Amino acid sequence: MKAKEWLIERALLLMALSAVTSLALIAIFVLAQGLPIMLREGLGSFLLGHRWAPTKHAFGILPMMVGSTCVTLGALALGGPLGVACSVFLAEVAPRRVADVVRPAIQLLAGIPSVVFGFVGITVLVPLIRNHIGGPGLSVLAAAIILGVMILPTVISISQDAIEAVPRTYKEAALALGCTPWQAITRVILPAARPGITAALVLGMGRAIGETMAVIMVIGNAVKIPHSLLDPARTLTGSIAMEMGYASGEHREALFATGVVLFVFIMVLNTIVNLRLGRRREAS
Amino acid sequence: MRPALGRDIPLSGVVLAAACVLTSLLGAGCRGGEGGGLTLAGSTSVQPIAELLGEHYMATHRGSVINVQGGGSSAGIQAALSGAADIGMSSRNLKPEETGLQATVMARDAIVLVVNRDNPVRALTTEQVRGIFSGRTRAWAEVGGTGRRLTFITREEGSGTRGAFEDLVMKKEEISSDAIVEDSTGAARAIVESDPQAIAYISFGMVTPGIVPLTLDGVTPSAEAVHSGRYHLARPFLLLTRGAPSGPAAAFIEYVLSPEAQALVTQEGYVQARPAGSGR
Amino acid sequence: MRRVNPEVTHRAASVGLWLSAGLALAVLAYIIGLVLVRGLPAVTPHFLLASPERMGRAGGIFPTIVGTLFVTTVALLVATPLGVGTAIYLTEYARIGRLAAVIRFGAECLAGVPSIIFGLFGFIFFVITLQLGWSVLSGGLTLAVMVLPTIMRTAEEAIKAVPASYREVSYSMGATTWQTVTRVVVPAALPGIVTGIVLAVGRSVGETAATLFTAGASLRLPTSLLSPTRTMAVHFYILAREGLSETHAYGTAAVLVVLILAINTLANWLMLRFRAKTQ
């Protein structure tokens, strides 16, 4: 009997290690494919090289790094405030009935496949930008808007959890002192929820930088550092997705190297969030 | 709220169910194996006509299975070399370093420059096109059009269409990094259809009513112009095999070169392959 | 300088907040509305049951529906035991301590990996190294790794929510940990676990980048685990990109959206039932 229990526990432990093992496998394989070329070309010239022309042996990913950064920051600028506002709405302002409808609706937004967002982007948003603002329409702006919408569910749900985790006594005390509910929110609750909201934004950022399909469809994929919001650009993810189908040899290694950069960046982001969230969980 | 003591998770039941599903998946595989199946992979320009010919082939040769995939000409060449595909499709000539493959010309196709219906420009010279795609020409006004913004669209680097375009038009000049890059003809076409300032190059057989093919160096693109050689922006559609084609691959290629298949080729807007032995 | 009356700010802010929520909902409604209005007319029984013709310009999407089903099934068959097993381990055997922290950290990081990286990994590991080729199996295994954190997280929440009293009664009757788990805890947590599975299904169905590079893009009906296949999401992407047929693209999107709507509603209903049960 005891032996059976011991065996079961060991089996479960093995299962439990599956996530960590998968992560390790991913890291190993992607690094194994991508690291050699990064070392061969030199980390500096790979990360900061202006020119990406893999069939002509030019492997600089700076245009994509800038593209990804611009698009992500744009997404945060649009989706961040809107998301936090919605979460405040759901946590503090909305009547119970309304919140019960709105919250699942926002989660629905999370379920819509990214390619559908991309499609709506290219059929509706891109012509809109082209005709009413300027440029070819395929632009950093279009990608930022689409991504802003796509990160809303992440930002909203995590921010909402953070706001709801603030002890009610804080709010009650503020109200008792004569604050309007809005003052209570801005001066007491939001500052108290700040670590959680920051985590929400950071995770939203992670989602934005990792998004591929929707971005390819609306950003124009020009291998050039964008000089304005209306310029087309290319992201790290877009580069991989567009060229993986036919890349071979050095070119394929370079794409994996791009993947390594992405992977490292996301891991760093996630680690930071986990450490901060973990600390907060222990504190409360 | 009574705890459900004594209610066993039918673990054995779950395992049994999983086994059933897996077995049926595998069993289904045993029934209709992939034997006799032919895989073609490569150029997205060749893909539509290859698909069509495949459908006709399957209709007349019961029991055969033809799988057509895209990926681009470079991918097709890779796939043929590695054996991942039985036949590779390419819409450009092989490069000198791409050895070990036998190429069969199945059709010829023109590459045309296309613009939006609202664009007044209807003709360009090769030199002008080169100027546009290299980024030297910065506005439509410079080539007889209106408006400033000139948005030019290119295919991705692995595309055979792009390869042929670079060989025949760009020569040694590089396509500017300002170019919008799209990985499919459809995407390039869709942009031109909705943007009056856009220009792209696509396969002649994929022109749709919403866009206008330009006259190049005074020659209007047509099957006849390509066949006679007057329209010089043409490239072969190649079916590639590792060594001489054999078995199902040979049968399919033989079908593709037959008069009825070539009639379909013409019908779809491409140009017939020159008869064998007439020289390239 | 005259200070603005805080009451006025409060009202203005309230309006602003309602508008924000309204905006988010409006965007959602617009997207779903657009897809359904333009897509549902194309969704006929023929569309659902016929094979694609001329690369998807005509005919139906049946092979992609089957492909999606096969790939998702494989993903679930692999990820569910692993996810639930992990959850059981974390709650019943090793709740705290470094090992648990490492496991949870691994899961959180895995959850943040972009889908294109899964595509890259799946391609180099399953398709090339393990020589499974573009297949249902490669796609399913890749998706399994992708949805593992989702199932793990929800299963853990569900199992943690089972009242301690249940376990105490079981132990007091002499049951072992494993017996308690299988006969008491998991049955009680089942709705929550199933919710996690349903969420995982939703995620797999909508996934494109990971499946494109692992399951392939073949339009033939998949007949075995090693057949290449095209999922609905990939088919929609290809149709939309290639501009092959706008009606068919919208039609595929409509099927996808309706499916996701159904899955989400199911998940929400299950979660409500689960909460009601444990209260």
Assembly ipTM: 0.86
DSSP-derived pairing of the beta strands B87-90 and B234-242: antiparallel
Which domain covers residue A127, as residue numbers?
Answer: 3-283
Amino acid type, B266: T
Residue A1's pLDDT is what?
65
Under an 8 A CB cutoff, do A122 and B183 touch? no
Of B253, B270, B238, the residue nearest B90 (C-alpha): B238
Identify the closest residue of chain C to A202 by CA–CA distance: C112
pLDDT of residue C33: 93
A18 contacts in chain C (CB < 8 Å): 82, 86, 148
More confident: C240 or A117: A117
State the alpha helices, DSSP H only, in chain A.
2-16, 18-41, 43-48, 62-88, 96-111, 114-120, 126-132, 140-165, 168-176, 181-184, 190-210, 213-219, 236-243, 250-283
- pLDDT tens digits for range C242-274: 777 788 889 999 999 998 888 888 888 877 776
pLDDT of A117 reads: 94
The count of other CB atoms within 10 Å of the CB of residue C98 is: 8
| Contacts C228 to B, Cβ<8 Å | 67
Q: Do B75 and A221 touch (CB under 8 A)?
A: no
Residues of C in contact with A93 (CB under 8 A): 14, 17-18
**A52-53/A58-59 β-pairing:** antiparallel
What is the phi/psi pair of residue B201, to 5°? -120, 130
Cβ contact, residue pair B74, A242, below 8 Å = no
Which residues from chain B sit within 8 angstroms of residue C88, using beta carbons? Answer: none
Distance CA(B95)–CA(B144), nearest Å, equals 36
Task: Dump pLDDT digits (tens) for A47-86.
Answer: 999 999 888 888 999 999 999 999 999 999 999 999 999 9
Per CB-CB distance under 8 Å, the chain B contacts of C225 are 22, 25-26, 29
- Say if CB B110 and CB B231 are below 8 A apart: yes
- pLDDT of the residue at B32: 37
Q: Is the pLDDT of residue C106 over 90?
A: no
Lowest mean pLDDT: which of A3-7, B216-220, C27-31? A3-7
Residues 6+ apart with CB under 8 A from B130: B169, B170, B171, B173
What is the distance in angstroms between the Cα of C38 and the nearest Cα belonging to chain B?
18
Helices (H), chain C: 6-39, 45-49, 62-88, 98-112, 115-122, 136-160, 164-172, 177-180, 186-206, 209-212, 232-242, 246-277
Mutating which of B25, B56, B185 best tests the C interface, going by the most C Cβ atoms within 10 A?
Answer: B25
Q: Which of B194-198, C73-77, C195-199 is predicted with the least confidence, judged by mean pLDDT? A: C195-199
| Residue with more model confidence, C133 or C230 | C230
Q: Is the dihedral of CA A104, A109, A111, A112 positive or negative?
A: positive
Q: Which two tokens stand for residue C266?
A: 């199911």
Q: Do A108 and C28 touch (CB under 8 A)?
A: yes
Task: Return the partners of chain A (3 or more C-beta pairs < 8 Å).
Answer: B, C
- Give the model's pLDDT for residue B23: 55
C93 CB within 8 Å of a chain A CB: yes
The closest alpha carbon to B159, from B23, B43, B264, belongs to B43
Would you place residue C277 in the very low, low, confident or very high pLDDT band (cuts 50, 70, 90)? low
The sign one gets for the Cα dihedral B60, B61, B64, B66 is: negative
* Chain C closest-CA separation from residue A44 CA (Å): 23
Of the candidates A55, A137, A220, which has its C-beta nearest B157's C-beta?
Answer: A55
Selected residues 132-171 of chain C with any CB under 8 Å from a CB in chain A: 145, 148-149, 152
If one counts the domains in chain A, the total is: 1
For B194, which residue in chain A has the nearest alpha carbon? A127
Q: Do residue A19 and residue C106 have CB atoms under 8 angstroms apart? A: yes
What local confidence, expressed as pLDDT, does residue C68 receive? 93
Of C170, C241, C244, the CB nearest to B3: C170
According to the model, what pLDDT value does residue C242 have? 77
Q: Which letter does DSSP use for residue C42 in this model? A: G
Please calculate the CA angle B190-B195-B201 and round it to the nearest 5 degrees: 55
First to last CA, chain C: 54
Per-window interface: A 117-136 vs C, CB < 8 A = 117-120, 122, 124
pLDDT(C170) > 90: no
pLDDT digits (tens, 9 = 90+) for A153-200: 989 988 988 898 888 898 899 889 988 888 888 888 999 988 889 889
Least confident of A229-238, B115-124, C56-65, C205-214: C56-65
Provide, as residue numbers in chain A, all residues whose Cβ is less than 8 Å from the Cβ of B183.
216, 221, 242, 245
Determine the pLDDT at residue B33. 38
Q: Is C6 in Cβ contact with A182 (below 8 Å)?
A: yes
Residue B71 sits at φ, ψ, to 5 deg, of 115, -20
Reading the block at residue C236, the tokens are: 């929609």
Structure tokens at C161: 């929510």
Judging contacts by C-beta atoms under 8 Å, the chain A residues touching residue B72 are 245-246
Considering only CB atoms, B182 lies closest to which of A55, A130, A221, namely: A221
| The predicted structure's pLDDT at residue B19 | 59
Q: Do A243 and B174 touch (CB under 8 A)?
A: no
Cα–Cα distance measured from residue C245 to residue A160, given in angstroms and rounded to the nearest whole number = 41
How far apart are the C-alpha atoms of B268 and B49, rounded to whole Å? 8
Chain A residues within 8 A of B73 when measuring between CB atoms = 246
Nearest Cα of chain C lies from the Cα of B80 at a distance, in angstroms, of 15
A183/C6 CB distance under 8 A: yes
What is the per-residue pLDDT for C217?
A: 80
B48 interaction partners in chain C (CB closer than 8 Å): 54-55
Query: Please, is A6 exposed, middle or buried when counting C-beta atoms within 10 Å of its C-beta (0-12, 13-18, 19+)?
Result: exposed
How is C50-97 classified by DSSP, letter by letter?
SPEEGGGTEE--HHHHHHHHHHHHHHHHHHHHHHHHHHHIIIII--SS
Instruction: Please judge whether A26 and C145 are an interchain contact, meaning their C-beta atoms are less than 8 angstroms apart.
Output: yes
User: How many Å separate Cα A225 from the centre of its chain?
Assistant: 21
CA nearest neighbour of C117 among A29, A70, B83: A29
A108/C109 Cβ within 8 A: no
Residue C157: is its pLDDT beyond 90? no
CB pairs under 8 A between B and C: 85
DSSP C3: P
DSSP type of residue A53: E
Concatenated DSSP letters for chain B? ----TT----HHHHHHHHHHHHHHHHHHHHHT--TTEEEEEE-TTTHHHHHHHHHHHHHHSTT-EEEEEEE-HHHHHHHHHHTSSSEEEESSPPPTT--SEEEEEEEEEEEEEEEETT----EE-HHHHHHHHTT----GGGGT--SS--EEEEE-TT-HHHHHHIIIIITTSPPPTTSEEESSHHHHHHHHHH-TTEEEEEEGGG--TTEEEPEETTB---HHHHHHT-S--EEEEEEEEESS--HHHHHHHHHHTSHHHHHHHHHTT-EEPPPTTS--
For residue B154, give the chain A residue with the closest CA.
Answer: A222
- Dist CA A281 CA A93 (whole Å): 26
Rounded Cα gap, residues C83 and C197, in angstroms: 10
Residues 182-221 of B with CB under 8 A from A: 182-183, 187, 190-191, 194-195, 197-198
- CA C154, distance to chain mean position in Å, is 12
**Dist. CA B169–CA C161, nearest whole Å:** 68
**B181·A220 Cβ contact <8 A:** yes
CA dihedral sign of residues A81, A82, A83, A89: positive
> Distance (Å) from the C-alpha of residue B106 to the closest C-alpha of chain C?
19
- Pick from C11, C113, C207 the residue to mutate for testing the A interface (most A CBs within 10 Å): C113
User: With bands split at pLDDT 50, 70 and 90, how would you rate the model's confidence at C279?
Assistant: low
- Closest by CA position to C74, among listed C182, C225, C218, C266: C225
Whether A71 and A143 have beta carbons less than 8 Å apart is answered as: yes
CA dist., res. B207 & res. C130, Å (int): 42
List Cα–Cα distances, C239 to B185, C61, C193, C274, in angstroms: 12, 11, 35, 40
Residue C118 pLDDT > 80: yes
Task: Please name the chains neighbouring C, where neighbouring means 3+ C-beta pairs under 8 angstroms.
Answer: A, B
Question: Mean of the per-residue pLDDT values for chain C?
Answer: 87
From CA B154, how far away is CA B182, in angstroms rounded?
Answer: 6
Query: By percentage, how much of chain A surpasses pLDDT 70?
Result: 96
pLDDT at C139: 94
CA A261 and chain centroid, separation: 15
Q: Which amino acid is at B194?
A: S
Cβ of A246 and B174 within 8 Å? no
The CA distance from A184 to A199, in Å, is 22
B8, B9, B203: which to substitute to probe chain C, counting the most C Cβ within 10 Å? B9
Q: Residues A83-106: what's their mean pLDDT?
A: 89
C-alpha A183: how far from its chain's center?
31
Selected for mutation to probe chain B from A212, A237, A246 (highest B CB count within 10 Å) is A246
Rg for chain C (alpha carbons), in Å? 23
Residue whose C-alpha is closest to residue C203's, from C149, C157, C155, C254: C149
pTM score:
0.87
Number of Cβ pairs < 8 A linking chain A and chain C:
232
- A247 or B109: whose pLDDT is higher? B109
Interface mutation vs chain A, best among B47, B181, B183, B184, most A CBs within 10 Å: B181
Query: Chains that contact B by 3+ CB pairs under 8 Å?
Result: A, C
Across the interface, do B51 and C70 touch by the CB < 8 Å criterion? no
Give pLDDT < 70 ranges for chain B: 1-36, 274-280
Nearest to C138 by CA among C124, C122, C149: C122
The CATH number that applies at residue A243 is: 1.10.3720.10
